[in-house]
């Protein structure tokens, strides 16, 4: 699908500057940077010089679809990229990005990220995320929306432990780094923690897939959340969540108590 870039400031209130091209965009604050590619989602989160994230991607499936599609410019039109500095007292860098996509038939998906870094050397940072799914058509729309997250904590993918608690909080650790993500609202319909390559293949196998509520895994782990949504004409659905990275002396003990056993699997 061809890329279309237009300025729609009303859709992203508070975003002062607009990037008029796709490709790679970076937001930063203090000790942390996050990199986004309009064709493949978030492709990096670096904290104090260590790249912690392999990929984060969003997928969707309409009622008429026979598979999941990634939210990117191959499957949707990119209507705009909006960037802003929401923390000007910290530095002058853009620390927030909104990317707006649509399918031409009333479905619109907007992803918004705001990064907050910690002090230099703290190995701590945070990203707040909001996803807005809009039905701009005149008919009811049924959508399954997916978030897929693959962290390689400490810059490697060999020895992480992960679990999902309460259906809405994902936690992952390696020897010295701990990441947690909490979905504030609304609660996911389904969740899954599993092998990163297996889960990535699931979203790209050309079939209809749903998450299986598996709560834990070890090795090269990833997680996903699924929301099954019914939107009346003109309605929107807002997902809010937050990710935090911190040093993790004690996180091994925490996840070990859940019965996880560290494994070593290389990415396929």
Q: What are the extents of the domains in the chain?
A: 9-256
Within 102-250, residue ranges assigned H as helices are: 196-203
User: Which pair of structure tokens corresponds to residue 162?
Assistant: 């992960």
User: Check: CATH 2.70.98.40 for 9-256?
Assistant: yes
pTM: 0.87
User: Closest Cα to residue 131, out of 60, 83, 40, 67?
Assistant: 60
Mean pLDDT by 10 residues, the chain (268 residues): 33 52 86 93 96 97 98 94 88 92 97 96 97 98 98 88 97 93 97 97 97 97 98 98 86 39 33
**Which pLDDT value is given to residue 40?**
87
Residues 6+ apart with CB under 8 A from 214: 192, 193, 194
């Amino acid at each position: 699908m061809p890329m279309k870039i237009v300025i729609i400031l009303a859709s992203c209130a508070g975003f002062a500057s607009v990037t008029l091209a796709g490709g790679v965009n970076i937001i930063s604050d203090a000790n942390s940077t996050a990199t986004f590619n309009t064709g493949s989602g978030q492709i990096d989160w670096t904290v104090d010089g260590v790249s912690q994230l392999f990929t984060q991607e969003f997928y969707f499936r309409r009622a008429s679809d026979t598979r999941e599609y990634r939210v990117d410019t191959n499957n949707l039109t990119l209507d705009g990229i909006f960037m802003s500095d929401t923390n000007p007292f910290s530095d002058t860098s853009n620390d927030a990005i909104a990317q707006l996509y649509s399918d031409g038939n009333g479905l619109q998906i907007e992803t918004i990220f705001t990064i907050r870094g910690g002090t230099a050397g703290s190995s701590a940072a945070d990203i707040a995320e909001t996803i807005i799914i809009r039905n701009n058509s005149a008919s009811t729309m049924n959508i399954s929306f997916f978030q897929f997250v693959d962290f390689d904590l400490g810059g490697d993918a060999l020895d992480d432990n992960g679990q999902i608690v309460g259906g809405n909080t994902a936690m992952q650790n390696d020897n010295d780094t701990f990441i947690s993500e909490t979905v504030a609202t609304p609660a996911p319909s389904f969740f899954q923690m599993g092998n990163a390559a297996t889960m990535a293949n699931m979203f790209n196998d050309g079939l209809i897939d749903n998450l299986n509520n598996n709560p834990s895994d070890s090795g090269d782990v990833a997680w996903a959340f699924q929301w099954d949504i019914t939107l009346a004409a003109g309605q929107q659905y807002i997902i809010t969540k937050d990710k935090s990275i911190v040093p993790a002396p004690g996180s091994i003990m925490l996840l070990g108590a859940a019965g996880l056993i560290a494994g070593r699997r290389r990415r396929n």
